[in-house]
Chain A
Amino acid sequence: MRQWGASACVGFARACAVVVVAMLVPAVWAVAVALWMWWGGDPWTWIAPFVWACIGTFALSRPVCRMTRSLVAKWTGVVIPPGYRQAGPVTRMSTGYWWNGFSYERTRRDALMDQRMRLWWKDPAVWRDLRFTAIVPFTAGVVAAVPLAGLAAAVLGFGTSSPLVGVLGLVVAVAAARYAWRPAVPVAVRLLRPSPAMALADRVDELTSQRADTTVAQAAEIRRIERDLHDGAQARLVALGLSLATAEKLMRTDPDRAMALLREARAGAATSLNELRELVRGINPPVLNERGLVDAVRAFALDSPLEATVSADVRLRLDPPIESAVYFGVAELMTNAVKHAHATRARISFAGDETGIVVDVEDDGRGGAGVRAGGGLEGLRRRLAVFDGTLEVTSPAGGPTRVRMVVPCESL
């Protein structure tokens, strides 16, 4: 009984909240109509109140939707993605003009204003919000108003000594209190979720930015390889050729020096092989090619200063790009564990089924890791995002750090 009473009170409060939110825009129109009446109902005085009401509707539609969304999320845990278009960066071009993603403008302020206007008109979410604010008073709003109306009838009925009306009103108010706010949830879910077209637009945006990330990362990687080869192996091979040429020249006249040069050349060849090996390991570790992900991580764990346990419940063979991304992810996490978290032990586990692979990396370090803009984990998250993979980091200060990588894919 007590519980029922409490939930009736909560329901009543929620119904009130729904009414307030739903009736904001109708209230603006009511004020406008009242103004027009007050000015005398003249055929031409309707224009000003009408314009004000329209502006009010436009201005209030987004806050109303935002409030509805947050109320629904708070009460039921249903998160409705807003799906508004995000403003792109406004950048200054070499010509001195500002580019906002749509047009060139002379000043930054113009570019920003133009961008805001275009986003406003082109964003399907704006029209969706308007539709919602138009529909919600007549659906969720009306239903949520029932307990309030009941209460009002009760007060009026007892006040004007017609107890029948009062009792009826009270019964309606109490009976409806628990349920009246509920229709707001399906209405909001139905009308506020992004339409398929908006979801597609979001996906296109996401893919575009991922493609840009990948291209940039790839170009940087190629530059690194070129630089390493140029400064390393190539230079050493030139030196090697020089030593050999000189040795050839000195062979007859000064065999001792020639011998020394040959020895030097041999050492140079060994060093350049070493450098090439390191380079290859950074591009695509041979053991990954030869044995697949799990054994490659085992091999990496053996070389790492951490005491690492590697466990896998399945023999995974994935697409090579995914294998490589996950391998370098685990390698980076283990390196972080040593370098930043000062960990001594790590546990790596692989689990997978036909839908994807889950990799957990856990260390006993001091924690405090997080995905920060421009940080290593952010980079890792991006590289996984290319495959629609995700990265979860739990790393309280004081440790331990747990990182979970999930990549949807088909096991080969």
Chain B
Amino acid sequence: MRIVVAEDLYLLRDGLVRLVEAYGHEVVATATTGPETVEALLKWRPDVAVIDVRMPPTQSDEGLRAALAARGEVPGLPVLILSQHVEQLYARELLADGAGGVGYLLKESVFDADQFIDALERVAGGGTAMDPAVIAKLLSSGSSTRRLGQLTEREHSVLGLMAEGLSNQAISRRLFLSEGAISKYTTSLFGKLGITDDDNSNRRVLAVLTYLNASSAPQET
């Protein structure tokens, strides 16, 4: 895969480049500021970009804005956002265009290199990779807990992994269950929640997240 890495801290940038190269991917460009990131994304059209949220010049949400701007130009351009903290607010903004190819992970997710590369590949393939922390907050917010009360514990954890963007196969590996068992759980939980199942994992994530967001979303006025 051809990858663009945008991260202003040298140590982290270097580490990320070495990590993805160790897995046989190619880093075509690096960027250290927001404007540079947009430029690199539009010039190289990478298979996937790894972008830090906070970068110069403003040290605010530069990276996120760069990613959204680039995706405005090239819909569905795969981006994986890394951050020291995760906010549902940002996750929503990333998912809002519904084009897929979006990842939003805590920086420490690189500690587990295999899972990180897995997420990267998923995003590059047009899938979704949401940090478990975002999903956990989403599942535990007021309205969700009430509506998810009817799910069994197992269905609950399957729903969480599904919202992270994992396929049935990946979920079955994570939970040490057969794929058949997982698809049984998904069918039953979709039935309970009244969402239509979809083989496309990206659309499935969107359906799940939309469902979870439905009534807990703060109104924009």
Question: CB < 8 Å: which of B53, B111, B215 contacts A266?
Answer: B111
Q: How far is the CA of A7 from the CA of B146 in the complex (A)?
A: 63
User: Is A310 at the interface (CB under 8 A from chain B)?
Assistant: yes
Q: How far is the CA of A299 from the CA of B217 in the complex (A)?
A: 10
Q: Which residues of A contact B142 (CB under 8 A)?
A: 304-307, 344
Chain B residue, CB-CB nearest to A338 = B142
Q: How far is the CA of A60 from the CA of B218 in the complex (A)?
A: 61
Quick one: given A277-B85, A287-B89, A344-B142, are A302 and B137 in contact (CB under 8 Å)?
Answer: yes
B54 to chain A: closest CB distance in Å?
7
Q: Which residues of B contact A305 (CB under 8 A)?
A: 140-142, 145
Quick one: given A291-B60, A302-B141, are A307 and B85 in contact (CB under 8 Å)?
Answer: no
Quick one: given A277-B84, A280-B85, are A290 and B218 in contact (CB under 8 Å)?
Answer: no
In the complex, the answer to whether A311 meets B84 with C-beta atoms within 8 Å is no
Question: CB < 8 Å: which of A273, A299, A304, A344 contacts B108?
Answer: A273
In the complex, the answer to whether A303 meets B137 with C-beta atoms within 8 Å is yes
In the complex, the answer to whether B145 meets A310 with C-beta atoms within 8 Å is no
Sort chain A's interface into a size bin: 20 to 34
Q: Which residues of A contact B88 (CB under 8 A)?
A: 299, 302-303
User: Is A308 at the interface (CB under 8 A from chain B)?
Assistant: yes
In the complex, the answer to whether B84 meets A302 with C-beta atoms within 8 Å is no
Q: Which residues of A contact B59 (CB under 8 A)?
A: 289
Give the most central of B54, B59, B137, B141: most A CB within 10 Å.
B141
User: Is B216 at the interface (CB under 8 A from chain A)?
Assistant: yes
Q: How far is the CA of A412 from the CA of B27 in the complex (A)?
A: 41
User: Is A298 at the interface (CB under 8 A from chain B)?
Assistant: yes
B209 to chain A: closest CB distance in Å?
12
User: Is B221 at the interface (CB under 8 A from chain A)?
Assistant: yes
Sort chain B's interface into a size bin: 20 to 34
In the complex, the answer to whether B141 meets A303 with C-beta atoms within 8 Å is yes
User: Is B219 at the interface (CB under 8 A from chain A)?
Assistant: yes
Q: How far is the CA of A42 from the CA of B106 in the complex (A)?
A: 99
- CB contacts between A and B, total, < 8 Å: 68
Q: Which residues of B contact A313 (CB under 8 A)?
A: 221
Q: Which residues of A contact B216 (CB under 8 A)?
A: 302, 307
User: Is A281 at the interface (CB under 8 A from chain B)?
Assistant: yes
User: Is A101 at the interface (CB under 8 A from chain B)?
Assistant: no
Residue-wise, chain B 193-208 has the 8 Å CB interface mask toward A (1 for contact) of 0000000000000000
In the complex, the answer to whether B85 meets A298 with C-beta atoms within 8 Å is no
A108 to chain B: closest CB distance in Å?
53
User: Is B121 at the interface (CB under 8 A from chain A)?
Assistant: no
Quick one: given A269-B108, A302-B137, A302-B141, are A310 and B218 in contact (CB under 8 Å)?
Answer: yes
B191 to chain A: closest CB distance in Å?
25
Q: How far is the CA of A290 from the CA of B111 in the complex (A)?
A: 25
In the complex, the answer to whether A307 meets B84 with C-beta atoms within 8 Å is no
Q: How far is the CA of A309 from the CA of B143 in the complex (A)?
A: 13
A293 to chain B: closest CB distance in Å?
13
Q: Which residues of B contact A308 (CB under 8 A)?
A: 218
A303-325 interface with B by 8 A CB criterion: 303-313
Residue-wise, chain A 309-349 has the 8 Å CB interface mask toward B (1 for contact) of 11111000000000000000000000000000000100000
User: Is A202 at the interface (CB under 8 A from chain B)?
Assistant: no
User: Is B179 at the interface (CB under 8 A from chain A)?
Assistant: no
Question: CB < 8 Å: which of A286, A287, A290, A304 contacts B141?
Answer: A304
Question: CB < 8 Å: which of A273, A302, A307 contacts B89?
Answer: A302
Contacts A/B (CB < 8 Å), 30 sampled: A266-B111, A269-B108, A281-B85, A286-B54, A289-B59, A291-B60, A291-B89, A295-B89, A299-B88, A299-B89, A302-B87, A302-B88, A302-B89, A302-B216, A302-B218, A303-B137, A303-B141, A304-B141, A304-B142, A305-B140, A305-B141, A305-B142, A306-B142, A307-B142, A307-B143, A307-B216, A309-B219, A310-B218, A310-B219, A311-B221
Starting from the known contacts A287-B89, A302-B141, 11 additional A-B residue pairs (CB-CB under 8 Å) come to A270-B111, A273-B106, A277-B85, A281-B85, A290-B54, A302-B87, A303-B137, A304-B141, A305-B141, A305-B142, A310-B218
- Nearest 9 interchain pairs by C-beta: A302-B88, A290-B61, A290-B60, A305-B142, A299-B89, A311-B221, A310-B218, A299-B87, A273-B108
